Structure 1
Amino acid sequence: MSIPHQNSQKKSINCAVVTISDTRTFETDISGKIAQEILINANHKIINYQIVKDEPHEIKSLLVNLASNEALNCIIFSGGTGISPRDNTYDIISRILEKTLSGFGEIFRYLSYQEIGSRAISSRAIGGVYNGKIVFSLPGSQNAVKLGLEKLIIPELNHLVEEINKG
């Protein structure tokens, strides 16, 4: 398989990692730690890491606040993408994105299906652009975070940031 956009320079991207959870703490947030580790190992920088309750107003306020940070290029959310009554992340992010990367969610679910079978249909992973920032929202499981970052986000992050920064 060929890799598109091979000429994209591998620059360090400034990222925020946000875990949406009513129960996780900085000590117990393994998925957040995995996300940070994968980004750092790919030579990107974590300039913000937070855990936020799965409350619509908190998620929206945090996204708007983070997206106003000129130094930030990418915001990665994990958690709150299912269909339970407390899962609000997808609903908030999908309403606020200015452009959606439909292929991200589609391919993520396809790759998830290969690992977990039909349960992948309940994933509402999404990606897109808001206020000049790349935004991804992944399920909160460790495997989902690892899959999304390693297979989809890391290989395309530099290219995506280049694209949104074109004049």
Structure 2
Amino acid sequence: MAHLAQRTFEPLNIAVLTISDTRTFDTDTSGQTLADLLQTAGHVLIDRDLVKDDIYQIRASVSRWIADPTVQVVLMTGGTGFTARDNTPQAVIPLLDKHVEGFGELFRQVSLEEIGMSSLQSRALAGMSNGVLVCCVPGSPGACRTAWNRILVEQLDSRTGPCNFAPHLKPQTQRIIDACGTRS
């Protein structure tokens, strides 16, 4: 089990994307769950969006955040199942520079305890792109809580040892430079 090292907590800028053909911001309990959890942990909800389960709409939102110098993490919920309308993995995988294979494996393992063999049908995944961690989890509040509480809360905490994702993300100093502009 990971432990907290004697380091300072560094809040991350996190964007949340919900993929759904039926939800609105008023009924988006999964996206709201992620937003609440990340803010409770001390991180910054820098942006939030909701798109239809369409490969190109998903890619457009994720690409915008990958290119944004202030976004460090993108958390996505929905579209990871096996129905004809579940397109999140197909949309996201081509955008990733590196895959974090262990994320999907670990998510299915911890989900097994909660939902049994149905965890096999989850196509949860994660990867890195342009210094941004992109995580895709199923579209239910329970799945979002599982991903956050069992994996992400520690991996996004700069104090977690022996390692975490924070050092691999766009540096926080870069945000300050970009926000202030450069001097000639």
Contact 2:132 2:170 in 1 (8 A): no
Aligned residue identity for 1:108:
F
SS of equivalent to 2:107 = helix
- Structure 1 position 66, deviation (Å): 1.0
Deviates more, 1:51-60 or 1:151-160: 151-160
What is the CA deviation profile of residues 15-50 of structure 1, one whole-angstrom value per residue up to 9, with x for unaligned ones?
000000011001100111110110000000001011
- Structure 1 position 95, deviation (Å): 2.2
Q: Does 1:9 align with 2:14?
A: no
Aligned residue identity for 1:89:
T
The aligned counterpart of 1:98 is: 97
Q: Does 1:86 align with 2:74?
A: no
The aligned counterpart of 1:122 is: 121
Map 1:47-86; keep pairs closer than 5 Å.
47-86=46-85
- Structure 1 consecutive aligned stretches of length 4 or more whose deviation exceeds 3 Å: none
Separation of aligned partners in 2, 1:8 and 1:95? 35
Contact 1:75 1:134 in 2 (8 A): yes
The aligned counterpart of 1:131 is: 130
Question: Which sections of structure 1, spanning at least 5 residues, go unmatched?
Answer: none
Q: Of the candidates 148, 151, 166, which is equivalent to residue 161 of structure 1?
A: 166
Identity %: 34
Q: Does 1:26 align with 2:25?
A: yes
Separation of aligned partners in 2, 1:164 and 1:12? 12
The aligned counterpart of 2:174 is: none
Separation of aligned partners in 2, 1:150 and 1:108? 11
SS of equivalent to 2:92 = helix
SS of equivalent to 1:84 = coil
Separation of aligned partners in 2, 1:134 and 1:55? 21
Separation of aligned partners in 2, 1:69 and 1:43? 21
The aligned counterpart of 2:37 is: 38
Separation of aligned partners in 1, 2:70 and 2:149? 23
Structure 1 residues 7 and 165: CA distance shift in structure 2, 3 A: farther
The TM-score normalised by the length of structure 1 is 0.94
Separation of aligned partners in 2, 1:110 and 1:66? 29
Aligned residue identity for 2:62:
L
Number of matched residues? 165
Structure 1 residues 28 and 153: CA distance shift in structure 2, 3 A: same
What is the CA deviation profile of residues 102-127 of structure 1, one whole-angstrom value per residue up to 9, with x for unaligned ones?
11100100011111111111000001
Separation of aligned partners in 2, 1:48 and 1:80? 19
Q: How large is the RMSD of aligned CA atoms in angstroms?
A: 1.4
- Structure 1 position 8, deviation (Å): 5.0
Aligned residue identity for 1:162:
P
Question: Which sections of structure 2, spanning at least 5 residues, go unmatched?
Answer: 159-163, 172-184
